[in-house]
Amino acid sequence: MRKTMMMMTAAGALLAATATHAQWTDNPPAAPVLAFDGCVNWRMNLIWTGATDTILYEIQRKIGHEDDFSPLFSRYHQSENIHYYMDSTFFMYQDTEYRIRALNTAGASPWVTVTGLARNGATGQWIGTPGSYNNYGMTGDKAFDGNVTTYFDAPALNADDAWTGMDFGENKVITGIRFVPRRGLEERMTNGWFEVANDPDFTSPTTLHTVETIPPANVVTEVPLDPPVTARYARYCAPEGAYGNIAELEFVTPPTPIPSTGLTVAASDLTNAYAVLTWSSRDGIASLFSSTLVYRATSPGGPYDCMTPEGLCTECEWTDTTVAPSIRYYYRLTALVNTPSGSIESEPGPYVAYIPYIWIERDPVTLATIKPGMALLGAGNPYATGRDVDQMFDNDLNSYVDMKDRNAVIGVDLAKPYCVAFMRHAARSPYQGRLNGTELRGSNDPDYTNNFTRLATFAGATVGAFVTQQTVNQEPFRYIFLQHPDAGEFYGNINELELYGWDPDVANSIFRAPPSVTISIQPRGIQLDWEQGTQQ
């Protein structure tokens, strides 16, 4: 089923104010044309142009370890027709895909997809020629801000001798240079040069590279250094009359070792309604970790939300207390490493799936009896005192049920239907064979022995320890009971029984959000269309 909502009046007025240049058309817009796409100084830059019949642009991102794209950004088409976006939440040495498309009243253009890859750009304290041309803010530090639309533009007094650089704070190995010229004035970098030194005055510099020809526009130029050099100070010196013009400058250092697969995670067992995650680091790399981040999703492909944005510095265990019964959750871990270049996040390890369940017939606070309002089935005819049906719900592995009737029927009236997903059981010693082959049955009929559904057949019964079995039918039933299918020798012999699942009345109130929403512009408002959400 498709749902539609119209946002009128104020929203319509906003659209009229921001998109009056747009042409209402029956044809989807052409795909955006990328003028620049590249990563520099830890930031991904996208610059594009679009058609005048475009109203909205949408950008999505998929990091290397993710299975699908996630929405990242949207904006209205602007009259100048040049658009810019910078992503500062980037991941080093992980291919990150971006895709962009245009939308109008008739639909969407095809996606345009590009890939970015961050290097380990050196960081430190900016040094260089102070000030900017006419004091309008384009100072030398703009060459290291990751934004290719800003640039260094020196004061007029320094038109012939401007420079911008960085003090790394300590000697660093430099393996390459990456730079972007100022847009529209690329020729001003011709004959400029890059150099390093071990003193702040550059009294004995070493030249690394000279720009001999006009560098290409809208491209990150890369200059590998072979062999690499080691220095504390590095800079770019502009030629005469160039005003220091350069948009971005990055000195590349060797990659920091990052753990990528050294984390494991396991969820708790059925007896805990929360997901308890535990992990350990791979031998030999634990010292690299500064903290751990836990991510959660409701589908294996994500999107994953960070549940511990502050990081877990010393802990190797975390409990998710925000889970809801019957929903399948997926968890992944990443490791954070603090380096001189900043905090670096590893790729996540493989996900682990977990479904939380409630303990149906007992409250974890009072384990020795069933919940108030519930009632025992088949009680009243034990073989001896202290061997009645209540013994299988007393949380005691030393007690057991023993009834006079060879084909005893024992169980619990849950007072309302519940969905049973798992059971845990322990057998009476030395008669565990009597439990094997017995069936766990469910019914909503007070005459339950004549109108029932088989939920599971007991198998692998063990004395003194619990065995967990999954049911084959998870429909809601009120009466849950044990009975041997062929009137075999049973006598109700069981030590303990625990039932896990969910309350269908609670589960039915939990819905999964629509997988996507489509925005289209109408003459008097915004129309939102989405597929109906599904129940968990």
Residue with tokens 């720009």: 211
Residue 334 is inside which H or E element, if any? strand 329-339
At residue 34, what is the residue type? L
8 Å CB contact between 425 and 374: no
- pLDDT digit string, tens, across residues 147-177: 999 999 999 999 999 999 999 999 999 999 9
Instruction: List Cβ neighbours of 95 (8 Å cut-off, separation of 6 or more).
Output: 64, 115, 116, 117
Q: What is the 3-state secondary structure (H, E, C) of 496-511?
A: EEEEEEECHHHHCCCE
Is the Cα torsion angle 480, 481, 482, 483 positive or negative in sign?
negative
Q: How many whole angstroms separate alpha carbon 143 and alpha carbon 236?
A: 10
Are the CB atoms for 390 and 447 separated by under 8 Å? no
Contact by Cβ (8 Å): 371, 498: no
pLDDT tens for each residue of the chain, 536 residues long: 333 333 322 222 223 223 334 456 788 999 999 999 999 988 899 999 887 888 889 999 987 666 788 888 887 766 666 788 888 765 555 678 999 999 888 889 999 999 888 778 888 999 999 999 999 999 999 999 999 999 999 999 999 999 999 999 999 999 999 999 999 999 999 999 999 999 999 999 999 999 999 999 999 999 999 999 999 999 999 999 999 999 999 999 987 655 544 455 565 566 667 788 887 754 444 445 567 889 999 888 888 999 988 887 767 788 888 888 778 889 988 877 665 445 667 777 778 888 888 899 998 778 899 999 999 999 999 999 999 999 999 999 999 999 999 999 999 999 999 999 999 999 999 999 999 999 999 999 999 999 999 999 999 999 999 999 999 999 999 999 999 998 788 999 999 999 999 888 875 544 445 556 676 666 555 566 666 554 44
- 3-state SS class at 79: coil
pLDDT value for 105: 84
Angle CA 257–258–260, to nearest 5: 140
User: What per-residue confidence (pLDDT) applies to 516?
Assistant: 63
According to DSSP, the residues that pair with 60 across neighbouring strands are 71, 99
CA distance 91 to 43: 9
Query: What confidence score (pLDDT) does residue 417 get?
Result: 96
